[in-house]
Chains A and B, each alone.
Chain A
Amino acid sequence: MITSLLTICYLIGSITFILGLKMLGHPDTAKKGNLIAAGGMAIAIFGTIFLYRENGSSLHNYGWIFSALIVGSIVGTLAAKKVQMTAMPEMVSLFNGMGGACAMLISVLEWSHLHETAIVTEAIGDLPKLYIQSEQINHLQILIIVLAMVIGAVSFSGSMIAWGKLAGRVKDFTFKGQQYVNLLLLIVLVAYIAYFSYVTPSSVSDIPLNSVAVDETLINAVFTNFHSYLFYGIIALALVYGVMFVFPIGGADMPVVISLLNSFTGVAAACGGFLYDNPVMLTGGILVGAAGTLLTILMCKAMNRSLINVLLGAFGGSASASATAQTGGAYKEITLTDSAVLMTYAKKVMIVPGYGLAVAQAQHVCHEIEELLQEKGVEVKYAIHPVAGRMPGHMNVLLAEADVSYDKLLEMEQANEEFRTTDVVLILGANDVVNPAAKTDPASPIYGMPILEVELAKHVIVNKRSMKPGYAGIENGLFFEPKTSMLFGDAKGVLQKLVSEIKEL
């Protein structure tokens, strides 16, 4: 009865995950979908705590379990509520790392649990008979434990580096031949895992069956200390690999990496599902693993790059960028007053937000400008490139925070149709996503990436902090076009001044 109740709990959990994920895909239902998935998770968690039975006995250590749940909930809620909207990608990365670490620790405990339950004695007459509980321990079981641990560990250390990079705490770090070192590491890791799950546990025939009692020596015959050293060696190697894996990848590619690590953690959770015959872990994990992988590929596509290319860090580094950098030319600056006049007397203004808007926290003042212009009869819209900012949808979240209405945000295809009839394009800290080299220069590393065709508009005002190239390290020919004017300064400061200029007109 109790076990059937738990099965129902897991069934509800699985269904809510699927439903939740589906509803998250539509703006109207997204919030409800999230809550539904959260509710299902709660049912699955509390079901496990109270209804889980192993060999007829329930779980214990309730004090520990509940205090851990309370500590985690308080810290998690506070962290999630306090974080700035601009720091969202870091936060997701951090939480993802926690999940990975959790999977890793489960495997560590499961490994020592195996030691305790591995050997069973049964007295037949005078002779104690020893045998390994076969359904508990076989090579596949070991492989799954190790896989969950390795994937969790890579996800954990990788996410920490990704978090550090986005928060500006970790610098890009590359050296020559790094790709080969990483490849070698990966091969060693895979070979190590294969070897380990092949030799563990030692086969039953190795155990002297005339041994007197189950003691350390006997356990060691199955899981020799040698194996334990190997086991902890794998953790170390996996952690190092996670770090090395993310290190060479450029900061602009972090969303792709986070999304990939996200799906890794999903797979690690699914391994746990196999381990405990737990359908809800399996569905949840695999669902996220598959969805995360697809999301990763979609993000790469939006940047017209292959996943391999991103992972090898080919364009995060500076090597390829210098090849295409055409040195400058003349650009012209525009004053605040002129910009204000230009925009106020335009019919249609299109704002192109980028990462510069996010770092400067300029979304609110941006909305203020939008409203001001609208009062003066100017049509204002936003053109959102799918990879603007640090994550797909990052800009939408930011602008939504500032109360910008949903229908003012144009996706790339729509925006490109409207640029032709646009008088002024205001670019706020975006660079690579408006670089015409992606269309015109086959030698450019971003060649072929779909971009916002801002050069179709009558005027382009570019707000940047300096002439420094964007994250991809590529010179942007747009800045030297005759119809482009540069408006230097921090996005927030510039927009605030623009507000007062427009008000005075």
Chain B
Amino acid sequence: MENFLDWISENVEMVYIVVLSIFLGVEVIGRVPSVLHTPLMSGANAIHGVVIIGAIIVLGRVDPSNYTALIIGFLAVVLGTLNVVGGFVVTDRMLSMFRKKKKA
């Protein structure tokens, strides 16, 4: 218990970020027309691809002679990139359709 409290006070900035981000996330979505739910979900999907940063850090500090770890890390970065790049490109494709018809 004491450990836990210590940990909270040591990481209080992180805890602040978490709490505020939760409210922000709810607030940002709350006023979105349902028309945009699919692109929004897709965009959010791309944003959580930020997990790739963890993958890069992990791969970047693996001992270069440890091939198992290198391969796992490589896979993680590939998967993360798929999530990020695929996510943003798909969202962009969806949204360019909305755009096109606006001009017409």
Contacts and interface: CB of A to CB of B under 8 A. Distances in A.
Nearest to B30: A294
A406 B70 contact: no
A226 interface: no
Interface string B16-31: 0110011111101111
A324 B59 CA distance: 56
A80 interface: yes
A292 B53 contact: no
A30 B74 contact: no
A218 interface: no
A20 B43 contact: yes
Given A13-B50, A95-B86, A49 B28 contact: no
A400 interface: yes
Interface in B43-84: 43-64, 69-70, 72-84
Contacts of B89: 76-77, 80-81
Contact of A391 (B38, B59, B82, B96): B38
Q: Among B24, B46, B48, B80, which residue has the most Cβ atoms of chain A within 10 A? A: B48
Contacts of B23: 290
A281 B42 contact: no
A278 to B, nearest CB: 6
A94 B75 CA distance: 16
A392 B38 contact: yes
B82 A76 contact: yes
Given A34-B95, A80-B85, A289-B25, A72 B44 contact: no
A106 B41 contact: no
Interface string A47-78: 01100101000111110110111011101110
Interface class of chain B by DSSP:
helix
Contacts of B63: 116
Contact of B62 (A30, A109, A258): A109
Contact of A285 (B34, B50, B81, B82): B50
A139 interface: yes
B21 A91 contact: no
Contact of B50 (A72, A105, A269): A269
A98 B78 CA distance: 9
A8 to B, nearest CB: 15
A18 B24 contact: yes
B54 A96 contact: no
B51 A106 contact: yes
Nearest to A279: B17
A207 to B, nearest CB: 19
A294 B58 contact: no
Q: Among B7, B73, B84, which residue has the most Cβ atoms of chain A within 10 A? A: B84
Given A88-B90, A140-B4, A286-B22, A106 B76 contact: yes
Given A48-B53, A106-B76, A139 B3 contact: yes
A5 to B, nearest CB: 15
Contact of B14 (A44, A83, A277, A397): A277
Given A37-B46, A403-B100, A294 B52 contact: no
Contact of B101 (A139, A140, A266, A403): A403
13 contacts: A30-B39, A54-B61, A61-B60, A61-B62, A64-B70, A71-B81, A72-B79, A79-B82, A91-B90, A99-B80, A109-B58, A289-B22, A291-B28
Given A30-B98, A34-B95, 11 more contacts: A20-B43, A25-B29, A83-B90, A89-B38, A92-B41, A105-B73, A139-B3, A291-B28, A298-B29, A386-B34, A391-B37
